[in-house]
Amino acid sequence: MNDDQFQSLLNSGLPLTIYPSKKRLLRLALLAAFLVTCSIAMIHQHNDQFMLISGWAGAVFFGAGLLVILTKMLLPESQALMLDKEGFIINYSWRKQRWSWKSVSEFVAKEVLTPEAIKTIDIMVGVAAMVEGMPARTPLSARKPRGNNMVYFDDGSTGKKAALSRYLTGYNCALPVSSYELSAGQMVELMNHYRSVALQQSTAR
């Protein structure tokens, strides 16, 4: 999203609905259609039983995926991010989850794994390589960061799942940034902006 479009989102006020990226859905639809075509070709061009089974499995799997993508294109609200004065809703297809601004931390763009999780993975991979007699790989800790491509926040919930997520990422919740036409940095700025506005208005009441 360019700067002018993003600034328009910041100035639009609440409530605000952010719809999934049409370009991304179109690319996924074209890819799924291509894979369905390849699967059908396998069915018609091969008499081998394995190839026939693979072709039918591919046609069913990628065909179902294509139907889901087309449904999302026709009903964009099924994957929309909805913000209002009380909080925000993330739509996962037809399943909704709501958070209040008061219950969540600030939003952060960061690498996927925490340093502690990376260290643990490096140790496990190193041990596995020694046992299997495989050549050592470059540790994750030595690799260059790929960029802040994930947006995280914490809602204070407890439990094993939340604890594991905090160990791996430092937070227990994430936003599906790739679904929208926003970079991770833009998503962080947008969410923190409206969180700040909503909390200030709530305090002023």
According to the model, what pLDDT value does residue 102 have?
94
31 and 97 fall within a common domain: no
105 in the Ramachandran plot: left (φ > 0), alpha (ψ -120 to 50) or beta? beta
159 and 204 fall within a common domain: yes
Evaluate whether residue 186 is within a structural domain.
yes
72 and 26 fall within a common domain: yes
153 and 181 fall within a common domain: yes
Evaluate whether residue 136 is within a structural domain.
no
Evaluate whether residue 65 is within a structural domain.
yes
Q: What whole-number distance in Å separates Cα of residue 205 and Cα of residue 198?
A: 11
Evaluate whether residue 102 is within a structural domain.
yes
Evaluate whether residue 199 is within a structural domain.
yes
pTM of the model: 0.74
According to the model, what pLDDT value does residue 196 have?
94
Evaluate whether residue 13 is within a structural domain.
yes
| 3-class DSSP state of 2 | coil
Residue 137 CA to its chain's centroid (Å): 28
1 and 95 fall within a common domain: yes
92 and 153 fall within a common domain: yes
Alpha-helical (H) ranges within the chain are 3-11, 22-45, 49-74, 115-132, 160-169, 184-204
Q: Domains in the chain: how many in total?
A: 2
Could you list the pLDDT tens digit for every one of the 205 residues in the chain? 888 888 998 898 889 999 988 888 899 999 999 999 999 998 888 778 888 888 899 999 999 999 988 988 898 888 899 999 999 999 987 788 999 999 999 999 887 665 555 566 556 666 565 555 555 555 544 455 454 468 999 999 999 989 988 888 889 999 988 888 898 899 999 999 999 999 988 776 6
58 and 93 fall within a common domain: no
67 and 156 fall within a common domain: no
168 and 204 fall within a common domain: yes
CA proximity to 153, closest of 198, 102, 93: 102
User: How confident is the model over 155-185, as pLDDT tens digits?
Assistant: 999 999 899 888 888 899 999 888 888 988 9
According to the model, what pLDDT value does residue 167 have?
85
User: How confident is the model over 31-42, as pLDDT tens digits?
Assistant: 999 999 999 998
Evaluate whether residue 135 is within a structural domain.
no
Enclosing domain of residue 27: 20-79
95 and 163 fall within a common domain: yes
